[in-house]
A and B are shown apart, each in its own frame.
Chain A
Amino acid sequence: MAIVMATAPTIVLAEEAEQEGQLTTINKGEEAPYSGILLDSIAAAKINIDKKYSLLKYDLELDLEIKKLKAQYDLQLGTLQAQHDSLEDKHISLLKIKNDEIDRLRDIVKDNPNDHNHWWLAGGVVAGIVTSIAIFYAAVEIKENE
């Protein structure tokens, strides 16, 4: 049990190292140090360059997507700005029309005030006179009947 516990980590480390992979250069006619895939210089260069340029192409694609997204957001922003400007224009214009209408109605009211005080005064005086005459007449009538 102790032997298994002591050797297990070493075995795991060795497996991990093997999984990293390895490569070596050999010349024509030389014995290969391990089984694997043998590439010539052209194939190796192609793989190498492909890897390097796939990263660069990925950067270009990322840049493209970022620019597209930015354009999309600019479109949304522009549309909203247009909507906002339109609403503001509508608001200002309607407010002006309403204010003009209020001013117009105010002028009409100023020219034709709803003030009838003089009629109330005249009516009051006439009513007072009529009431006084009626009281006087009633008093005379009562006296004559006695």
Chain B
Amino acid sequence: MFDIADKKYKEEIDVLNKAHQKEIEERNKIIQEHRAILESIEKEYDVKVEELEKRKKKELDKVVRENKEDPEKLAEEMSRLFGVKNV
């Protein structure tokens, strides 16, 4: 009778340990996934910033080239962007 009760208690402890172990494994998996996602987000951001810098440089060259002789268009653009009056 007592042997059976003892066996049952051991079974219960075993169940609790297994569930706890499973939870820890699952949590570690989620943390690893989270780290991978963060890394990918940061990487994506870096790529986009790099692309933006390239586009910016390209556009700057183009704007300088186009407006070197006639800065009126540039003045209009500045007026619009900065909210100042072009007189």
Contact = CB atoms under 8 A, between A and B. Distances in A.
Interface of A: 20-25, 33, 41-42, 44-49, 51-53, 56-57, 60-61, 63-64, 67-68, 71-72, 74-75, 78-79, 82-83, 85-87, 89-90, 93-94, 97, 101, 104
Contacts of A20: 83-85
B20 A86 contact: yes
A45 B64 contact: yes
Given A23-B75, A57-B52, A94-B12, A83 B84 contact: no
Contact of A60 (B45, B64, B77): B45
Contacts of B42: 64
A25 B84 CA distance: 13
Interface of B: 4, 8, 11-12, 15-16, 19-20, 22-23, 26-27, 30-31, 33-34, 37-38, 41-42, 45, 48-49, 52, 55-56, 59-60, 63-64, 67-68, 71-72, 74-75, 77-79, 81-87
Contact of B78 (A48, A53, A82): A48
A99 to B, nearest CB: 11
Chain B residues touching A, majority SS = helix
Nearest to B79: A23
In this complex, the member of A61, A82, A104 whose beta carbon has the largest number of chain B beta carbons within 10 angstroms is A82
- 6 closest cross-chain pairs (CB), A and B: A86-B23, A21-B84, A82-B26, A78-B30, A93-B15, A75-B34
A97 B8 contact: yes
Contacts of B71: 25, 41, 44
Contacts of A90: 15-16, 19
Contacts of A48: 63, 74, 77-78, 81
Nearest to A77: B30
A64 B67 contact: no
Nearest to A53: B56
Contacts of B41: 64, 67-68, 71
Contacts of B52: 53, 56-57, 60
